[in-house]
A = this chain, B = another copy of it.
Amino acid sequence: MRKVAVIGVGHSKFGVRKDVNLSELTFEAVKPAIDDAGVTRKDIDFVSFATVGGMYEEALPAVVAAEYSGLTGAGLVRCEAACASGSAAFFNSYLNVASGQVDISMAVGIEKMTEVDTPTMMEMIGRAGSYLWEFHNFGMTFPAYYALYASAHMARFGTTEEDMAEVAVKAHKYGAMNPNARFQRETSVDEVLSSYLVAWPLKLYDCSPICDGSAAVVLASEEKVRELGVDTPIWVSGVGYSSDTANLSKRPDFVGLRASVSAADKAYKMAGVGPGDLDVANVHDCFTIAEIMAYEDLGFCERSKGAEMVREGMTEVDGEIPVNVDGGLKAKGHPIGATGCSMIYELTTQLRDEVESRSRQVPLDSYTALAHNVGGTGHYCYVTIIRRE
């Protein structure tokens, strides 16, 4: 297997982006990623395009957006792994280079969720489980899925609504420092707790927002990295992936995501590192409880101790393992297809020591970062470990 590095990253402003169409929004990430890599669009041999779609007027969003970005002629595929689509596309692009098939590939994540009205979007996301059984019979929407997990975690481990609120407070704190984030103001535990109830125990401020945005990553082989004289290549050292049952009633418990544990195991093993080696991580905080469970699933702490990590500030920028110090899905926003690539964007700039707002730049030690991206309620999971040498 060839060594593969991230050599360029790009990111759009996340938010309600009615000012641009699908192609224009894509270009906002593709252009800076190609410039950052020091290549031209003609050097890109394969493009893995992540979008959950099903919501656009264009049936072939990858083709339309690739044409607008001048990438016509490259190999092309659209990857879907629900909210982990961006990581699935990154993995596909990684495999293209790792296998020797191409020298330079690109993963592009995009979602334009505000193109449809909110109730329709809620229904579409609610279907992201076992539709016929759960949505159709029980009327489950997506917050309800994570509410099951939250209430189980509370009952079994004593996690509280305040603990979850602290996750939101942390997210908004860093979102306020990130010009690409959708939400750029801080919040408080009181404000989170008094926000309106969505699905008990989850309130509005426990939920990541519907959002538009894009992110792109350029990958290259070791030979190409040398040839281009890339200053600070960020090497892909581990990739892990797993899936779980569509039907939640077949899961063994509701206090963690089995797919996350399995994907992380694979990625750690491949990279030859453990949670203690990480300088920084981005985890899939689609809801505040998801971040607490991720700490446990990824081995940042023992099972049951996730809330304690938040309470003790262990995942703040100066903590043991800084997590989601770009605002996370919660405050940066969660344009579902873009999120996986957005995580790689953030972690690459962190490892390069190039975060614009220095107050959220993590102190670097081992130069290792982890991205954890979940699709559905753990129906898919991808974990990616990248490293600066």
Residues of A within 8 A of B (CB): 1-2, 46-47, 53-54, 57-60, 62-64, 66-67, 71-82, 88, 91-92, 95-96, 98-101, 124-125, 127-132, 136, 239, 241-247, 250, 259, 262, 375-376, 379-380
Contact among B95, B125, B259 with A92 in the assembled complex (CB-CB below 8 Å): B95
Please tell me if the beta carbons of A80 and B81 are within 8 angstroms of each other in the complex: no
Given contacts A60-B82, A379-B63, contact A243 B101 (CB under 8 A): no
- B246 touching A64 by the CB < 8 A rule? yes
- Pair B54/A127 contact, Cβ less than 8 Å: no
Given known contacts A79-B77, A95-B92, A376 and B63 CB-to-CB distance under 8 angstroms: yes
Assembly CA distance A242 to B67 (angstroms): 12
Query: Nearest chain-B residue to A1 (Cβ)?
Result: B100
Give me 18 other A-B pairs in contact (C-beta within 8 A), A54-B59, A58-B132, A64-B131 excluded.
A1-B101, A47-B243, A57-B127, A58-B130, A59-B127, A60-B82, A60-B129, A63-B379, A63-B380, A66-B246, A67-B250, A72-B244, A73-B242, A73-B243, A75-B242, A76-B241, A77-B81, A92-B92
What is the interface of chain A mostly: helix, strand, loop, or mixed? Answer: mixed
Task: Quickly give the copy total for this chain.
Answer: 2
Q: Could you pull out 27 A-B pairs where Cβ atoms are within 8 angstroms? A: A2-B99, A53-B54, A54-B54, A54-B59, A57-B136, A58-B127, A58-B132, A59-B124, A59-B131, A60-B375, A63-B243, A63-B245, A63-B376, A64-B246, A66-B246, A67-B245, A67-B250, A72-B243, A72-B244, A74-B243, A76-B241, A77-B380, A79-B80, A80-B80, A95-B96, A95-B99, A99-B100
**A60 touching B379, Cβ below 8 Å:** yes
Least Cβ–Cβ distance between A384 and chain B, in angstroms: 13
Q: Is B76 touching A79 in the complex (CB atoms < 8 A)?
A: no
